Structure 1
Amino acid sequence: MLFALICKDRPGALQVRLDTRPAHLAWLQGLSETKKVAFAGPFLNDDGKPEGSLVVIEADDRAEAEALAAGDPYAEAGLFESVEVRCWNWVVNKPAG
């Protein structure tokens, strides 16, 4: 089952994002290696600066999705003002396999 993690950064926390980015990317790579991440990337403001994240993950249920979200180094560093975990259905342009 797919879940979208819709994460909004705290105002003024860009430096936290920049400082934590290597650990976050390593976390995503680990999820990718275990086939737990479908895709991910930052939301950008009108100036092209990151202000949140969208991470779509594979999880057995909401509890697992929430646990994975809590393990994101960005979340652990306190970057996010909010994290919404939503069950999601990939309909258009879904990769084969």
Structure 2
Amino acid sequence: MAVFALIYRYTDETDRRMEVRPRHREYLAGLAEQGTVLVAGAFADESAPGGLIIVRAGSDAEVENLVQGDPYQEAGVIAGYAIREWAPPIGPLAGEFAGG
């Protein structure tokens, strides 16, 4: 299993995003319980709204499937996203992301 960075860019529809946020977080929490989502959170700068989700998956296609199941995608509040395989070799948490 590889580790991927999933980077979301949100639309300016903040009210709609806040309305859907509980379902989005529930979805991610379920994936975290399965060991798929390792860490997730929104960027602090609301002038460029988005979020980062670190995912353990077998391929970028699997990550793509996670995006398609996200309530944010269904609600249309994701303006764009990028999926990048990530291999953090340095830092106190690097070992937490290794293996699977």
User: 5 Å matches for 1:14-93?
Assistant: 14-45=14-45, 51-91=49-89, 92-93=91-92
CA distance in 2, matches of 1:38, 1:90: 13
What is the count of residue pairs matched by the alignment?
Answer: 94
**Over aligned residues, Cα RMSD in angstroms?**
1.9
Give the 4+ runs in structure 1 shifted more than 6 A: none
Unpaired segments of 5 or more residues in structure 2? none
Question: Could you say if the C-alpha distance between residues 59 and 13 of structure 1 is closer, same or farther in structure 2, counting changes exceeding 3 Å?
Answer: same
1:2 equivalent in structure 2: 3
Taking the aligned partners of 1:77 and 1:5, their CA distance within structure 2 comes to 18
Q: Distance in 2 between matches of 1:36 and 1:78?
A: 23
What TM-score comes out, normalization by structure 2 length? 0.84
Structure (1 or 2) with the greater helix fraction: 2
- The CA distance in 2 between the partners of 1:50 and 1:72, in whole Å, is 20
Q: For residue 49 of structure 1, report the CA deviation from its aligned partner.
A: 6.9
**Is residue 70–residue 76 contact of structure 1 (8 Å, CA) maintained in 2?**
yes
Amino acid at match of 1:8: R
Q: Secondary structure at the match of 2:58?
A: coil
How far apart, in 1, do the equivalents of 2:69 and 2:33 lie?
Answer: 16
Q: 1:51 to 1:69 in 2, by over 3 A?
A: same
Deviation of 1:50 (Å)? 7.5
Separation of aligned partners in 2, 1:14 and 1:41: 16
Q: Percent identity?
A: 35
